[in-house]
Structure 1
Amino acid sequence: MTQHAPLIIDVAGLSLSKIDRQRLKHPLVGGIILFARNWQDRAQLTQLCLQIKKVRRDLLICVDHEGGHVQRFKTDGFTHLPPMRALGEMWLQDGKGGKAGEGAGAMQATNAASACGYVLGAELRACGVDFSFTPVLDLDFGESGVIGDRAFARDPRMVSLLAKSLMHGLLQSGMANCGKHFPGHGFVKADSHTAIPVDKRSLKAILNEDAAPYGWLNTTLSSVMPAHVIYPKVDTRPAGFSAKWLNDILRGQLGFGGAIFSDDLSMAGARLLDGQQVSYTQAAVAALNAGCDMVLLCNQCLPNSELGGRAVDELIEGLTEAQLKGSWQPQEAGEERRRALLPRTPATEWDALMVQPDYMHALSLIP
């Protein structure tokens, strides 16, 4: 079988170091996630992506690039995309002040969402980035500071149709998508980056609202990222470490067949399982055995850090040992789902993109 490469890691700076290349060559590493620290300008980003692909063509180059305040690249020509709430607000206008009448706002918003997705994907791909972790499918209950205006709306039907429109735009650019954070992070106040959020609602309540978009979009979603949130009425483990959530509910009940990423294993919500502190390797093994195809470990290769990416090396070594001991086994289907996220069409180069009629038209539709 093809070697399953489930690890998504980061690099320190603007270009690859010798140790970065060694890590990226490891057969368990399947991709890289970029951050603002990896950005100087378009020429540098393009060169960095070329360096990564020169190490291995099959590495998936990822970034969190949603719009609003979660957009890693904002200068040197990159379009400032709005937060997704702006599209929900456009929907709710419903033709107010115009002659189009009820429903016009919804149609305008879905069209704008497709334009946002196309511009987002096309600009990233023009620089060599393969994939963005977007769209957010969380509902805006008005409680979560970490989700906030990243959510389209409170209504799961609005969220689903706006997300589907944005994913259509991504598809036009040749980019896959990632719905997050399953089954929903919008109801809890705590931030899973720094705490362990607990959502005490029933499974029925969550399925009727937060998780509804995942079922409605099961033919459209390329991948899903679960939340580091505990839903004790369903499982004592956070969703990303729960076979009940990932296999029984997401795949079985909601019919999702794409790739599943863990959220960042360095977040507080990933470091405590069954009441016990766990290592990055233990967290990775738990997530993979629960049904994740890939796991992320972020912000470990920071510039001028004393640790210098030691956690990444420990995770690579730990997962290798887990495989040898049989506590984790590579999955051919997981590797196929990872590779399916790689772009299948050539990207349009930046200068050509800037004068492409579809791109110019999409820019005019972005709020």
Structure 2
Amino acid sequence: MLDSQPVGPVMLDLQGTTLAPEERELLNHPAVGGVILFSRNYESPRQAAALVADVRAARRGELLLAVDQEGGRVQRMRARYTRLPAAARYLEHCGGDVAAAEPLAREAGWLMAAEVRAVDIDFSFAPVLDVDCGVSEIIGDRAFARDAETATHLAAAFMAGMAEAGMPAVGKHFPGHGGVAADSHLALPVDDRPWDVLWSRDLLPYRRLIPRGLDAIMPAHVVYPSLDQHPAGFSRFWLQHVLRQRLDFKGVIFSDDLSMEGAAAIGDFAQRARSALDAGCDMVLVCNNPEAAAKVVESLDGLELPESARRLAALRRPGALPWAELEQTARWRRAVELVQPLITGDGA
């Protein structure tokens, strides 16, 4: 469309399984560029596809749809969807054999991506690239491994599967959330480890996967005081000097949710959004707080970020098989059969 609005810098959420009138109006603000879905927005593939279609129709312009569908504890879409294992399960299931775990991770990455894209959602915020250091409960089994090389290999396999299904990969939480005990949803974690430790361990997945086409990155709401006083998602040191310059990353940078307590020290919601964008984020997330989301959107009225809009638009990749067709493919049936034995208990 000639009058189509570009992708704006704000990703927000919805309250229910259908689009409310005030949400429909907000979606057309130029600052809006994305919607993230949660469990409360999902009932079935048919309902999700209808909601996504309504959201896209409501926006006069470009829009990205996202979800957190890692597997294990973090899987928003469940009914009719394949239950996915936590990232640590691939290696555990194979008795520590990385070579045996890689094809499982790859097939699970494909399955996750194919099912999410089947309802026209663009991407999941995955894979988790944190290296589990044995201290973070919020990361824990969401990480592929405690060894950085192993975590990198398995994340690469998962990412390759996602790419086969046409889904861009979003690595998180840069430069690494695995070395702190505090949960950034509830507090501002502080990681006192020096640069050489972070470079050789936590940053290894990014160093290896950026050259292999990692499409987007989400930084952590974590402070690394030996290097910078700001949380990584609000730090020009981390986003510009390290990520853009030293690691030569050219993809999209998403903020983590600005409603999290780890972002509160930056200021009010408008200040958080401006600080994240000024530091180098292309898009900011404001979740579970409709009033704050509306304030952020209004505070960014008139802001134009053409380079960010271009990077963000590249994440929209139509052409996925719809759900009814996907379920009929031999690839889908084979992937489900491979993944199901990895599920153990509620934590998967």
TM-score class, shorter-chain normalisation, is over 0.9
Match of residue 347 from structure 1: 320
TM-score, normalised on structure 2?
A: 0.93
Are the counterparts in 2 of residues 2 and 332 from structure 1 also a CA contact under 8 Å?
A: no
Aligned to 1:69: 73
Q: Which residue, 224, 229, 233 being the options, matches 2:226?
A: 233
Cα separation, 1, equivalents of 2:333 and 2:197: 42
Equivalent position amino acid for 1:288 in 2: L
**1:43 partner amino acid:** R
d(CA) in 1 for partners of 2:28, 2:151: 39
Alpha-carbon distance, 1:108 to partner:
2.1
Secondary structure at the counterpart of residue 190 of structure 2? coil
Contact conserved, 2:7 with 2:34, CA < 8 A, in 1?
no
Instruction: Confirm whether residue 81 of structure 1 aligns to residue 84 of structure 2.
Output: yes
1:13 aligns with 2:13: no
Tell me the distance in 1 between the aligned counterparts of 2:322 and 2:132: 36
Per-residue deviation at 1:2? 7.1
What amino acid sits opposite 1:290 in the alignment?
A
Structure 2: which amino acid aligns with 1:21? R
In structure 1, how many angstroms separate the alpha carbons of the residues matched to 2:337 and 2:99?
Answer: 16
- Conservation of the 8 A alpha-carbon contact between 2:7 and 2:313: no
1:107 aligns with 2:96: no
Q: CA deviation at 1:257?
A: 1.2
Post-superposition Cα deviations, 1:204-252, rounded to whole Å, max 9, x if no partner, equal 2111110111111113211000000000011100000000000100111
Shift, 1:162, TM fit: 0.8
Match of 1:193 in 2: 185
Which residue number in structure 1 is paired with residue 345 of structure 2?
none
How far off its partner does 1:47 sit? 0.6
1:37 aligns with 2:40: yes
Which structure 1 residue ranges, 5 or more long, are not aligned? 95-104, 301-308, 324-328
Structure 1 match to 2:292: 311
Deviations 1:142-190 (A, max 9, x none): 1101111100001111111111111111111111111000000001000
Name stretches of at least 5 consecutive residues in structure 2 with no aligned partner: 343-348
When Rg is computed on C-alpha atoms for both structures, the one with the higher figure is: 1
Match for residue 266 of structure 1 among 234, 237, 259 = 259
Q: Partner of 1:295 in structure 2?
A: 284
Aligned length: 335
CA distance in 2, matches of 1:200, 1:2: 43
Q: How high is the sequence identity, in percent, across the aligned residues?
A: 43
Deviation (angstroms), 1:3: 4.4
Indicate the residue corresponding to 1:163 in structure 2: 155
**Counterpart of 1:338 in structure 2: which amino acid?**
L
Do 1:126 and 1:347's aligned partners in 2 also have CA atoms closer than 8 Å?
A: yes
Tell me what 2:311 maps to: 337
The alpha-carbon deviation at position 361 of structure 1 amounts to: 2.0
Residue 257 of structure 1 aligns with an amino acid whose one-letter code is: K
Q: How large is the Cα RMSD of the aligned pairs? A: 1.5
User: Partner of 1:272: helix, strand, or coil?
Assistant: helix
